[in-house]
Amino acid sequence: LCCALITLTTTFAQTVSGTITGTVLDASGSSIAGAKVTLVNERNSDERTGTSNSNGYFQFVAVPPGLYTIKIEAQGFRTLERRNNTLTASEQLSVGNLALTVGQVTESVTTVAEGAVVETESAANSALITANQIEQISTKGRDVVDLLRLVPGVAYGDDIDGLGTGGTGFGTVTPNVGGTRNTFNTFAVDGVPGNDLGSPNINSGTVNLDAIGEVKVELNNYRAESGRNAGAIVKVITKSGTNQYHGSGYWYKRHEGWNAQNFFNNLNKLRKPNYRFLTLGATIGGPVVIPKLYNPSQKKLFFFYSFEGAQTQTPQAIRTVTVPTALERAGDFSQSYNTNSAATNATNKLWIRDPLLSGTCNQTYTAAAPATAENTVACFPNFRIPANRISAATQGLFSVFPLPNALDRVITLGNYNYNFQESVKVPKTNHLVRVDYKLSDKDSFYVKGSKWYADNNGFAVGAGGANWGLVRSHYTFRDDALTANWVRLFSPRLVNEAQVGLRHSTEIGRADTQADLDRITKVKTGFNIPQLFPQFNPLGLLPQTNFGIANNANITYDGRYPSRGADTFITFDNNTTYTLASHTIKAGVYVERLRNYEGAQGTFSGNFNFSRDVNNPLDTNWAYANALLGNFTSYVESTTRPSTEGRATTVEMYGQDVWKASRRLTVEIGMRVARYTNWIQAHEQASAFALERYDRSKAPRLYEPTLVNGARRARDPISGQILPVTFIGLIVPNSGNLTNGMVTQADPNFPDSFVNQPGPRFEPRIGFGYNLLGNGKTALRGGFGVFHNTRPGGGIWRNLTLNPPTQFNPTFFYGNYDTLRAQSGTANFSPSNVVGFQRDGKTPVIYNWTLGIQQDLGFKTLLSVSYNGSRSNFLLQSRNLNLVPYGAQFLPANIDPTITGNRPLPDNFFRPYPGYGNITYNEYASSSNYHALQVQANRRFSKGLQYGLAYTWSKTMDLTDTDGGGVAVYAPTRIWNYGKAGFDQKHNFVFNYTWDVPKVGRRIAKDNKLVKGVFDGWQLSGTTALVSGRPAGITFSTTDGQNITGGGDGARVVILKPAVLDEKKEGTNSNGTLGTVQWLDKSAFGRPALGDRGNAPKDVFRLPGVHNWDMSLFKNFPFFSEKTKLQFRWEIYNLFNHTQFNAVNTAAQFDAAGAQISEGFGRVTSARNPRVMQGSLRLTF
């Protein structure tokens, strides 16, 4: 039957229509067969009819979400009308047993449904966000993603400040749900996925709240009719017109003057940043009528339109960075000190080494080992670099950096000297229009179009430059969507639903003005160092930089800058439901075609790394001094700048049967089959590293270091040719195959996506709902399902166009500007960093299960308690196949003979796969598991007081949190990587409520309008959140730069005792000003010994959690009529202005003796928003 129906028709992956069922009985409880059942949509008067079967059972399938009246007529019985039955998206709504009383059909009995109904005929673990919650539970940014926190199993995130800009410029980052990666979520608007194609964890299909009717979240164990991705499915249902005219107009405002000051703004003596939001919007909907000519019954044609526009200035987090001081720019380091300490004494000074001198010059000296004439012989005298040795090019480069403005080392600990906070301007608009047309008694049709536009203007915008203030940019994003839906009622037993969806989004990133662009160009700054391939940098932008200093302000750009991109999303689906006795059968196909264009990219302007490196013979002990001399640790530049355009196709089929096995038992069984392509790059520009194609005998050789008359030079180990020092580590021309092991899309023996085309993926689903006591008040529900994640983000495959032979990235090590000039225009390549894929990789799969009980507690409250578990296999992770093993850098054969101190050669000389640098190998080998107790208690669809409680007690364990996340190569992953997921929150409690305050004015003075106007019409709503912090690990560095492990996956700290302090107290600085808070016990951590990996897990402690109260007060005024209401709202977020820290300094630093010396280690470094308030006026009719 399943296969037959699949061939008969097609269906939609994210079906939003539902089913209404019930049983007709007489007063004795016997079934009434042949009763006429009429279903009436209370909002547009649409009617459907059916009859009860021999068991008295009736059902209506493919019913749109809405409010319905059920009318039952049978000969010899009074007519029964049950009103106010609320059907939500994809719901199997059972209205239970409906008993008729003896009498005439012309007599009627009317009842009104109130409160949520126990789901006795569904196994799905889901949650609902109702229209009332959307309207009354205030969300600061008016973004529906914020409301998902009201659902159990959803990770709690920070507030979203503005619609469609939650963490990005092109949409809102969605939360992790049910212990899965957030890239596995499907965020569908009226059935059409709104996920960004490059980053599927982001919802780009933005819709304003006033256009949304409800939100259904299918957490797990959903039916076979739902699929596409393996995670949660969020179904956003937009509003439609009704047979009455309804509309609204609204105004929202926020201003920094209404807000409290952030803890760290106070600490850093920063004023409140501009925080200004002005939002205007309106909606209108109703019937389309031409009096006496068209649709006089107001049952045929309906419309709905929504507009929202906002002018916003969103404050960004305080950026604390390190920039070169005025003295340092002139070569004077006499006032430069080490990081992680407030000290400015002799033992904390930075000693600058002169690379031209031989002898000793340590970076720092201690009281136990003080500086002497003998051990500072190689230092620059007086900590000053002579003016004739300073590079004018670097001074031009330094001119883009601001001068320091944070000079109090008691606060900064030397970890930054400049703080900066901006407010990004983001004007944005959202339009949505929907038209519903009742073509005939059997045909319904709607078309919906939407447009979203946002223009981000500032330093911290998408696809721009470094966020500390490098270049002010515009980042514009536009998303257009069109949906057409047709439902055909062939008979009461056979219904078909077809839908076509189209989404197209574009992004453009550019400098704000020509003057902004000029300040980062070589010409305007005087940076005259030539490039290898200047044709790919037509704007002449400065090279990117990395200084390797704590919080250093680097010069960075998006690799596509100025950027241009586009996504296209086409879906087709069709939905057929057939009712056969006690079986409801569905089947079909979902088809989508995707295009993800990300523009041209590469390291087009070059990248200088000036970081300190003890293996670099030109190192001065400090990055800024390296740069002033023109000495670099490495320089890299791309040979090309290819564009990327990924394409993919998915076809999914399913069949399912919902079987009413008895009056009390409903069984769901189904099978979904997915067939898809991985991302394939257009124009055959992609390539990948294939292990089976690599031939070690064809590896090219490298120029090795040698000494010529005491000077360090490069030498061809075969011919003996001597070249300048900058050739060390470069590939000897014509010595081997530069693309050894690489395969291209043109290779007929390799798939275009470099991963074997997956065959059909079968996803069985089974579940049950059991009316435990037979009274519809208690239900036992459970099930099991298999879910595949067929659509990973396009970003991982996008990197394949940056592989050889399409693009090389020559890298020069341990060089100087002058020697780099000699390379200009040449093409001496270094070993490339490449990306590969596991060819026989499997599709990520999740097995999840649930068992729970749902109970009507009375007081219109529904309680759901369930155990939910899942196991995820074949998740995408990455390993660096070319990482040198532990101890390799200590071996005598790998020591550089031209440098004193037993320093190793660069890793490229002894990697496992010679001829390459890092080899990022993406493989389908990761796993995770999730176990949770989830509790929901809801009182909804009622008047007076409504509330919802969501509590989750859970544990998520994994190896890595994200697609392509890195794992250990040599250390056991079960020890090195396995632990609590970075998004794990052990306890997550969120309570929401809406209370219509009793109208006491009428009791005080029934006929006094003034008294009633003051005391009546008040509402109170809010949320309370108590949430555990997320896990975090510890990193470390050493002052002596000792190589502890000699390669491998590195080392971690040694845990000596519990890390988190029992009492965390706010300190006070010596001058009486506000101090910081210590979260970790510094003495709990030790430095690993030479050769020791340490014993710290990846999840050492939990970050601070959430303790937050939001509250809103509404006052409603009648406006000309009882049906028109003017509402004033005052919304308060973080009502008690409770300081809620959210980040901790996790970077320990040890001296040579093993003492932890970082004063800032373990301190909290940022806090969530302080109290924020918003005012609003709304007019509704």
Average pLDDT, the chain: 92
Q: What is the dihedral of CA 1163, 1164, 1166, 1167, to 10 degrees?
A: -160
Q: Is residue 483 part of a domain?
A: no
- Residues in a beta bridge with 671: 655, 764
Mean pLDDT (whole number) for 865-892? 97
Contact (Cβ atoms closer than 8 angstroms) between residue 599 and residue 643: yes
pLDDT for res 651? 96
Indicate if the alpha-carbon torsion angle 203, 208, 212, 216 is positive or negative.
Answer: positive
Question: 557 pLDDT exceeds 50?
Answer: yes
Quick one: average pLDDT of 730-748? Answer: 95
So what's the pLDDT on residue 15? 67
Three-state secondary-structure class, residue 561: coil
Does residue 1087 belong to any structural domain of this protein?
Answer: yes
Residues 652-707: tens digit of each pLDDT: 999 999 999 999 999 999 999 999 999 999 988 999 999 999 999 999 999 999 99
pLDDT at 869 over 60: yes
User: What is d(CA 624, CA 1003) in angstroms, rounded to the nearest whole number?
Assistant: 76
SS3 call for 794: helix
Instruction: Return the pLDDT at 3.
Output: 39
Give pLDDT, residue 795.
75
Query: What pLDDT shows up at residue 51?
Result: 94
Q: Among residues 112, 141, 159, which one ends one of the domains?
A: 112
Q: Is there a domain that residue 906 lies in?
A: no
Question: What pLDDT score does 185 carry?
Answer: 94
Q: d(Cα 110, Cα 89) in Å, to the nearest integer?
A: 26
Residue 463 confidence (pLDDT) above 60: yes
- What pLDDT is recorded for position 1014? 84
User: Per the domain annotation, does 1104 fall within a domain?
Assistant: yes
**pLDDT tens by residue, 471-494:** 999 999 999 999 999 999 999 899
Report how far residue 767's alpha carbon sits from residue 781's, in angstroms, rounded to the nearest whole number.
Answer: 8
How sure is the predictor about 1069, in pLDDT bands with cuts at 50, 70 and 90?
Answer: very low
pLDDT at 2: 39
Q: Which of 51, 79, 112 is the last residue of a domain?
A: 112
CA distance 597 to 561: 14
Amino acid found at 241: G
What are the tens digits of pLDDT across the range 123-148?
989 999 999 999 999 999 999 999 99
Decide if 854 is inside a domain. Answer: no
3-state secondary structure of 149: helix
Taking residues 217-241, report their average pLDDT: 91
- The DSSP H or E segment spanning 437 is strand 428-438
- The tens digit of pLDDT for each residue in 761-802 reads 999 999 999 999 999 999 999 999 999 999 887 777 778 999
Residue-wise pLDDT for 2-40, tens only, equals 333 333 333 334 568 899 999 999 999 999 999 999 999
The CATH number that applies at residue 52 is 2.60.40.10
Q: Average of pLDDT values for 345-360?
A: 91
**Total number of domains in the chain:** 2
Residue 1070 pLDDT > 70, yes or no?
Answer: no
- The mean pLDDT value for 736-743 works out to 96
The predicted structure's pLDDT at residue 1065:
52
Supply the pLDDT for residue 913. 98
Instruction: Return the pLDDT at 165.
Output: 73
Domain boundary among 87, 112, 137: 112
* The pLDDT value given to residue 827: 59
pLDDT of residue 133: 94
CA distances from 824 to 533, 726, 810 (A): 8, 12, 12
* Domain-embedded: residue 1005: yes
**Domain span at residue 1172?**
997-1181
Task: Find residue 763's DSSP bridge partners.
Answer: 672
Is the pLDDT confidence value at 170 over 80?
Answer: yes
CA distances from 1132 to 312, 519, 1117 (A): 18, 42, 21
Instruction: Please give the pLDDT value at position 1068.
Output: 43
What is the distance, to the nearest Å, from the Cα of residue 81 to the centroid of all Cα atoms in its chain? 47
pLDDT in tens, 1104-1160: 999 999 999 999 998 888 789 999 999 999 999 999 999 999 999 999 899 999 989
What is the phi-psi region of residue 881: left when phi exceeds 0, alpha when psi lies from -120 to 50, beta otherwise?
A: alpha
Q: In which residue are the tokens 């999730």 written? A: 930
Phi and psi torsions of 1006, nearest 5°: -55, -40
Number of residues written out for the chain: 1181
Per DSSP, the residues of 66-122 read EEEEEEEE-TTB-EEEEEEEEE-TT-EEEEEEEE--BS-TTSEEEEE--S----TT-
CA 1019 – CA 1002 distance, rounded (Å):
16
Stretch 999-1017: mean pLDDT, rounded? 81
Indicate whether 828 pLDDT > 80. no
pLDDT of residue 1072: 42
* Alpha-helical regions (H) of 748-876: 794-798, 817-821
As a whole number, mean pLDDT of residues 265-293 equals 91
Q: Is residue 1108 part of a domain?
A: yes
Mean pLDDT of 997-1001: 87
> Could you tell me if residue 1172 is inside a domain?
yes
Instruction: Tell me if 869 sits within 8 A of 241, measured CB to CB.
Output: no
The structure's pTM equals 0.90
The token pair that represents 21 in the structure block = 């069922």
- Residue with structure tokens 């969501």? 950
Q: What is the average per-residue pLDDT within 154-179?
A: 87
Mean pLDDT of 344-369: 89
Q: Say if residue 1073's pLDDT is above 50.
A: no
25 contacts: CB under 8 Å, gap ≥ 6 = 31, 32, 56, 97, 98, 99, 100
pLDDT at residue number 826: 58
d(CA 161, CA 193): 23
Cα 608 to Cα 813: distance, rounded to the nearest angstrom: 10
Closest by CA to 1018, choosing from 1129, 889, 1093, 888, is 1129
pLDDT tier, 105 (very low <50, low <70, confident <90, very high otherwise): confident
935, two tokens? 């509790």
Q: Given this model, what pLDDT does residue 823 score?
A: 67
Strand partners, 279: 252, 310
